[in-house]
A and B are shown apart, each in its own frame.
Chain A
Amino acid sequence: MADLTTTFLGITSPNPFWLASAPPTDKEVNVRRAFEAGWGGVVWKTLGEEGPPVVNVNGPRYGAIYGGDRRLLGLNNIELITDRPLEQNLEEITRVKKDYPDRAIIVSLMVPCEEAAWKAILPKVEATGADGIELNFGCPHGMAERGMGAAVGQVPEYIEMVTRWCKENYSKPVIVKLTPNITDIRLPAEAAMRGGADAVSLINTINSVISVDLDTMAPEPTIDGKGSHGGYCGPAVKPIALNMVAEIARSPVTAGLPISGIGGVTTWRDAAEFMALGCGNVQVCTAAMTYGFKVVEEMISGLSQWMDEKGHTSIDDFVGMAVPNVRDWQHLNLNYIAKAVIDEDACIQCGRCYAVCEDTSHQAIAMSEDRVFTVKDEECVACNLCVSVCPVEDCISMVAMTPGEVDPRTGDVVEKEYANWTTHPNNPGNTCASG
């Protein structure tokens, strides 16, 4: 069985699965249960400055969207940082770290954007023996209105400044957690780097209104007839998170900056995908909040089975392997030509591919009287829509044409050489001088 031991920023944990800063890590009792269940580490629920803690709403905090059979696909919350006293949290962290020296404990922090506030809290955190800190610049609701969280995370200069204060006043690794509620994720990542961050973690939750109650005409979750935007997470946000991770991993400015991947990690496969895009580990919140701590067992067994199958003996073997294959669109090979091919034996004749290609794509699928579906190569642009909607896995595949063959759609010979948009004759900004 592959060794899942992970060393991230010099912090070793038995596996790359950490619980993200959130309700699962809010209290000693939860964290102990999590470690007993097998989680490699936790990022403790975000702590605020000393004094009376924040208060949460006393009505519903969560809302969800579902797939068939009420499978939870996306979760939204209007919760704040910890609502328990700072001292109590620090004591618990100290105790748990002592009892679980082999697990990672990172303390998430969010205090006002003043150096004094950080200088006050950091020595206390240092004293707990925790392995590092994570700066919560991401919380999209409640805290931003108080000049913290996303309010800082959306201004790169603040990120740089706060990160620098932390590096100056704390000896262990500093992770900067990024908010996705921004247009270009590379800018806050670069700012964190300039401030001396040891790593970035992303994504925090996405601004969202999960649903509207059509009887009361109020957004959900509804508190006394009113609702507020919240933070969106869970399986539905994974594609957004993967893109943001990839942007940072492949940017020449931030390349090599360690990343802790967060956002919709629900299975071992999700974790492997984040790691392939450059994450040294992953953090999980919604999957635990949906199924309980036991899900980590599947993540562990699945990742090690896959690593064995691929011959990876350690995590580092595959971290970042997919990064070189993420490119800008204009660098994709326009001479690569594929065609959809339907496996008639696997086809169950539902006709969905036909309906969508005919109605919304390229009229490239023929349907016979007795419901045999075939691709018309002379029309197929290989858009992959049919593959996306076919209910049978692997029933339709995209088969690449061999150079030298004639594409029946264009009548052109398939070229062997790579050629992209930058050199394409239709591109007005064509870099090859023509004529």
Chain B
Amino acid sequence: MSNSQMTSGIVSGRVPQATLDENFSDLHPGLAAHEAAVAADRCYFCYDAPCQTACPTTIDIPLFIRQIATGTPEAAARTIFNQNILGGMCARVCPTETLCEEVCVREVAEGKPVEIGRLQRYATDRLMETGAHPFARAATTGKRVAVVGAGPAGLSCAHRLAMLGHDVVLFEREAKAGGLNEFGIAAYKSTGGFSGREVDWLLEIGGITVETGKSLGGDLSLDALGSEYDAVFLAIGMGGVNALRAAGEDKDNVVDAVSFIKELRQSDDLSALPIGREVVVIGGGMTAVDAAVQSKLLGAQNVTMVYRRGKGRMAASEFEIELATAKGVRIIYNAQPVAVHGNGAVAEIEFEYTVEDGNTLSGTGEMFRLPADQVFKAIGQRLMDAPESVAVAGGKITVSETGRTSVAGVWAGGDCASGGDDLTVTAVAEGRDAAMDIHAALTA
């Protein structure tokens, strides 16, 4: 292998295997037992704890941390899973710096929060490594529920319904369950095939039949599901990607960041995955950061993230921006793409600087170009395949607090539905809450 970071074009094997292994190892490695004891000891066991309120799934954080501190991490894990069956994944991917840890009283007081995320990982890993599933199914109710989409929202809803005794069929378009846990989350957040293991472990509750390769709008219709099942839960995420609206967008090697990440996540040999020497990522959210960072980790020499507005408006958190810059990603603010240049494939991409005036953004007329072997578009996902009968507003299926759509007997949650941030943990909460409402409706 003779390729290096300096090799022109899009090639694989830019960095040695050992470096790749290191680059894609756990971003936040698990805590050892003593580290966990020390970290747990810092928790004050707050009354009506702010961290718990900030958690979208309302995990009883002071209780689970105390259970770790007293040497019973398995009990701690049960506290977590009671509220959030994907507590293992959430421990790895939650932007804790903008959720529980942001409001931890010790963050506020000292700028050093209790390490809630890593403690959650410690507890959930301990229970999951025993191989045992912590919950038992209630006696079967004979009710049948169809869940469409096996991402965090669908999995969470299916698990809760199954636990309550309902029979669930989980339909998934892809060949694997997991949703963005499997295809989207950065590789260094979910290492060692965790997503797949977690799905298998979750399904041990029983009562859930997974039907992969089935898609709504394709083999399935909402009408048919509605008549065959007692209730339907839609958790189809956001499968579409927004367009750049820049001239030359259709040139080769201008791709969606999510597709690039999906390919990366499904690759079992990263040294065979090609990456450009010059990579440009367009966007300012979590997806843009993940695409840029992972490009850099694969060995791209220059990775530039270009965001059309100022830093303050960026959806990525402070922590993620720091992560990107620490890995060597250059971030350009206030520039929007106007044209993709190149003969067949992209060679350069042209931007115009912008100024913001409140919400309106306008070009200054000043242009610049960046060399680009590859351009990744990360300018937002959008709802796709939503059944026509359900009401949609602002690009999301309109739902009530408990996930009811405009159609009786049909609930929705996760990224495809209105309300809440587009986060794994929010999807889990919405799936769970919809399940409780479906249960109430079916047993009323």
Contact = CB atoms under 8 A, between A and B. Distances in A.
Contacts of B108: 348-349
Contact of A392 (B48, B49, B109): B109
B368 interface: no
Interface residues of A, number: 14
Contacts of B109: 348, 392
Interface string B1-43: 0000000000000000000000000000000001001100110
Interface string A324-358: 00000000000000000000000011111011000
A352 B44 CA distance: 8
Interface in A43-87: 68-70
A409 interface: no
Contacts of A348: 105-106, 108-109
B370 interface: no
A371 interface: yes
B45 to A, nearest CB: 7
Contact of B47 (A69, A354, A392): A354
A392 B46 CA distance: 13
Contact of A350 (B38, B41, B47): B47
A292 interface: no
Interface string B34-71: 10011001101111111000000000000000000000
Contacts of A371: 48, 50
Interface in A343-396: 348-352, 354-355, 367, 371, 391-392
Interface residues of B, number: 16
Contact of A68 (B41, B45, B46): B41
Contact of A351 (B37, B41, B46, B106): B46
A355 B47 contact: yes
Contacts of A354: 47
B403 to A, nearest CB: 28
Nearest to B34: A70
B31 to A, nearest CB: 14
A351 B38 contact: no
Contact of B37 (A69, A349, A352): A69
B314 to A, nearest CB: 28
B44 A68 contact: no
A350 B44 contact: yes
A349 B41 contact: no
A68 B46 CA distance: 17
Interface in A275-316: none
A349 B50 contact: yes
Of B42, B44, B47, which is in contact with the most chain A CB atoms at under 10 Å from its CB? B47
Nearest to B42: A68
A69 B108 CA distance: 23
A421 B42 CA distance: 42
Contacts of B46: 349-352
Contacts of A391: 44
A426 B296 CA distance: 80
A352 B41 contact: no
A350 B105 contact: yes
A352 B45 contact: yes
Interface string B107-125: 0110000000000000000
A352 B106 CA distance: 13
Contacts of A349: 46, 50, 105, 108
Nearest to A391: B44
A355 B46 CA distance: 9
B101 to A, nearest CB: 14
Contacts of B42: 68
A392 B44 CA distance: 11
Contacts of A367: 47-48
Interface in A165-221: none
A238 to B, nearest CB: 22
A371 B41 CA distance: 23
A367 B37 CA distance: 30
A348 B47 CA distance: 12
A348 B46 CA distance: 10
Contacts of A69: 37-38, 41
A349 B50 CA distance: 9
A367 B47 CA distance: 10
Most chain A beta-carbon neighbours within 10 Å: one of B38, B45, B106, B108: B45
A352 B47 contact: yes
A351 to B, nearest CB: 3
B25 to A, nearest CB: 27
Nearest to A346: B109
Given A348-B105, A349-B105, A68 B47 contact: no
Contacts of B105: 348-350
Nearest to A371: B50
Interface string B87-109: 00000000000000000011011
Contacts of B37: 68-70
B161 to A, nearest CB: 35
Interface in B285-304: none
Contacts of A355: 47
Interface of A: 68-70, 348-352, 354-355, 367, 371, 391-392
5 contacts: A69-B38, A348-B105, A352-B47, A354-B47, A371-B50
**Those 6 A-B pairs whose CB atoms lie nearest each other, nearest first:** A351-B47, A68-B41, A355-B47, A348-B109, A350-B46, A350-B44
Given A349-B50, A352-B46, 20 more contacts: A68-B37, A68-B38, A68-B41, A69-B38, A69-B41, A348-B105, A348-B106, A348-B108, A349-B105, A349-B108, A350-B44, A350-B47, A351-B46, A351-B47, A352-B47, A354-B47, A355-B47, A367-B48, A371-B50, A391-B44
